Amino acid sequence: MDVPVAALRAASAAMAVTPAPLANLAARAVANGIATLSPDERRMVARNLRRAGIHPRGPVAGRLAVQEVFDSYARYWVDTLRLPHLSNDEVADGLVVDGYEYIEQSFATGTPPILALPHLGGWEWAARWLRDVKGVPVAAVVEEIEPPELYEWFLEVREALGLHVIPLSDGAAGVGAALAAGEIVCLLCDRDISGAGIEVDFFGETTTLPGGPALMSIRSGAPLLPAAVYFEGSRCRGVVSPPLDTRRLGRLREDVTRVTQDLAHVLEEQIRRAPEQWHLLQPNWPSDHEALGTTPPGGTKGSSPRPGGGAAAPGTGRSDAAR
């Protein structure tokens, strides 16, 4: 569903004065309406919950499980719009991070890390927390979406969170420059929006994921750290995993495939921890497109991933960093 940019701007301004409980209540009401009017998205959520091990008993339990995902997605938007208005103390109190030592170890080597994240929980908390609590600059690759005024609004929101936004069209050059400037680079990587990513086994089914995180880590030497941010009550918890093995062991394509598959396994673990917070509403596997009768990116109806994958938009793998 398309939401007018004016409405998004109004909602963003309202977050400055609306108490969080009231904002979340209103957002859940909106999410309920969106879920009711979005049968394809509900179907994808139900399929993803089953992939992550959630098997509701009966149609009522199934509807409630799906609605829980939409409720979590509503909270994601409330938090994203509220974050620019929070004080640094409120941000510090609102997020606890496990595994931050892996980020510190990366900087100790003289190289900032690449954080690879799924569409899970409230990842924008990490950007604001890193900048204003830890004093660490953060960059993220963002898809240049249409219409232009919506893209500009997304830029304003993310820049207000302290993100250095790298347009997807800048690709490897933008990411390389950010790393050279000492910035952590965040890449959302559980969805291949180009259809030209790396073929992996993801939740027991073949699909493609962006090869950009692996490729950029291998080429730059930046540690690749899987990470996720979960909602826990009124607060959030960030979890940073140990760095993946991104050493060169063979041909570049083979190494990128190996690392991307390793990343896919960590993504599975992250998502299974809180599948109700996985905000992936679009088809992400060939079988999803077959179920909806839609055409996957870069393919035809019912087509399977191309053997071996391949990184389009070199250096980014087209990580979907704009929700």
Rounded Cα distance between 216 and 66, Å, is: 35
pLDDT above 70 covers a percentage of the chain that reads: 91
Do 294 and 256 contact (CB within 8 A), yes or no? no
Element housing 98 (H / E): strand 95-98
Do 172 and 230 contact (CB within 8 A), yes or no? no
DSSP state, 16? T
Q: What's residue 299's pLDDT? A: 66
Q: What's residue 311's pLDDT? A: 29
Q: What values do phi and psi take at 5, rounded to 5? A: -60, -35
Q: Which of 316, 289, 274, 307 is nearest to 43 (CA)?
A: 289
Per residue in 220-263, pLDDT (tens digit) is: 999 999 999 999 999 999 999 999 999 999 999 999 999 999 99
pTM: 0.89
Query: What ranges do the domains of the chain cover?
Result: 87-292
Q: Which of 278, 283, 235, 322 is nearest to 69 (CA)?
A: 278
Per residue in 104-150, pLDDT (tens digit) is: 999 999 999 999 999 999 999 999 999 999 999 999 998 888 788 88
One-letter amino acid for residue 69 of the chain: V
DSSP class per residue in 253-319: HHHHHHHHHHHHHHHHHHHHH-GGGB---S--SHHHHHHHT-PPTTS-TTPPPPTT---STTTTTTB
- Cα-based distances in Å from 289 to 53, 97, 162, 201: 21, 36, 36, 17
Q: Report, as an integer, the average pLDDT of 291-304.
A: 72
CB contact set of 128 (below 8 Å; sequence gap of 6+): 83, 84, 86, 91, 161, 162
Q: Which of 309, 297, 312, 222 is nearest to 264 (CA)?
A: 309
